[in-house]
């Protein structure tokens, strides 16, 4: 279950960012997870919820944007949405010759709360 190690990395990244900005907490994190990335977004979200207890992101709002894949069929010129890597072109039923999008796994944004007492 690599979702667990990815959740740990997001927490580590949030902590590093908070430290570099002298922040007291991270209030919001937005992530993109592509449906062709091999990451189970629900399992990742669960792992993040468990691991974030008593961490810098314990009270953070977590927003996960799920990105669909896009296949391009060079045979018939169709660009189409993909749910799975083995989805066929709706025009000619061949496998896409190019896949763009859907492989994402990234932190898009992070909102940190600064210590106002300084």
| Average pLDDT along the chain | 90
For residue range 37-69, list pLDDT tens digits in order: 999 988 999 999 999 998 888 888 999 999 999
Average pLDDT over residues 18-33: 91
CATH node for 2-67+102-114: 3.30.2320.50
Question: Does the pLDDT value for residue 29 go beyond 60?
Answer: yes
Which stretches does DSSP call E strand in the chain? 23-34, 61-67, 69-72, 79-82, 98-100, 105-114
Kindly list the domain boundaries of the chain, sorted by start residue: 2-67+102-114
| Dihedral pair phi/psi, residue 61, rounded to 5° | -85, 125
Q: How many CB atoms lie within 10 A of CB 38?
A: 11
Task: Name the DSSP class of 64.
Answer: E
């Amino acid at each position: 279950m690599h979702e667990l190690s990815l959740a740990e990395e997001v927490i580590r990244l949030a902590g590093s960012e908070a430290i570099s900005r002298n922040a007291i907490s991270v209030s919001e994190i937005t992530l993109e997870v592509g449906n062709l990335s091999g990451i189970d977004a629900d399992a990742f979200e669960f792992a993040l919820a468990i691991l974030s207890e008593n961490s810098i992101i314990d009270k953070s709002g977590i927003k996960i944007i799920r990105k669909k894949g896009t296949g391009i069929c060079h045979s018939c010129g169709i660009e189409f949405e993909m749910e799975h890597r083995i989805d066929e072109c709706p025009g000619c039923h061949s496998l896409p010759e190019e896949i763009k999008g859907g492989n994402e796994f990234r932190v898009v944004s992070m909102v940190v709360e600064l210590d106002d007492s300084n």
